[in-house]
A and B are shown apart, each in its own frame.
Chain A
């Protein structure tokens, strides 16, 4: 059974700082991995989708990397802004076709 862990559970940084969020998973037989953000009381917004054959994906200030063999992914956020404050969720899709989620990292960017 796939288990997904996200570290840290919460992170507070000053505006402008670069930061890294971590996601680890126990079963390396995955199709892909998706990073999402969730604002309080809202649904999930897809940020980046990284396929199992890829090493990284970039969108604007966001960069996601994937090391399938070690069961790890990172989400790098450059030059953080207060608008980046949200909970970031990692979802892993394996052979069961289902997305399995970690508990998320709650990010606060202080002006």
Chain B
């Protein structure tokens, strides 16, 4: 299994600012992902974080708004840029150890409120 930690756990930010969320996994993982969960909704995949290369973004999400870094096999960051109240959500980091048949794990989430 994998234990995932995220920082910060929550934040309140002003419109127009940016926030970087950190994700640390306790073991080397092949796949890392970032999800968004808007209030009362299910999880939506933002992007797959690729080690050493640009992230792969899902439809509706762009790099300028959600830049992602993944410098190694255990760490990734997600930045929410030029925030608006519509960005208020829980952002979750997720990881999978390897093959597609492996279990996927999630971090505790970062609760973001934009005023």
Contacts and interface: CB of A to CB of B under 8 A. Distances in A.
A31 to B, nearest CB: 5
Contacts of A104: 42
A43 B92 contact: yes
A34 B104 contact: yes
Interface residues of A, number: 23
Contacts of A46: 103-106
B43 interface: yes
A43 B106 contact: yes
If over half of B's interface residues share one DSSP class (helix, strand or loop), that class is named, otherwise mixed; here it is: strand
Contacts of A91: 43, 104
A42 B42 contact: no
B53 interface: no
B42 A103 contact: yes
Interface stretch (A68-76, A78-86, A93-101): A93-101
Nearest to A1: B59
Nearest to B6: A43
A34 B101 contact: no
B31 A34 contact: no
B103 A42 contact: no
Interface in A2-60: 31-32, 34, 36, 41-46, 49, 51
14 contacts: A31-B100, A32-B100, A34-B103, A41-B90, A41-B111, A43-B4, A43-B106, A43-B107, A44-B43, A44-B106, A51-B101, A99-B43, A99-B94, A104-B42
Q: Which 6 A-B pairs have the closest CB atoms?
A: A44-B106, A43-B108, A103-B42, A31-B100, A43-B109, A43-B106
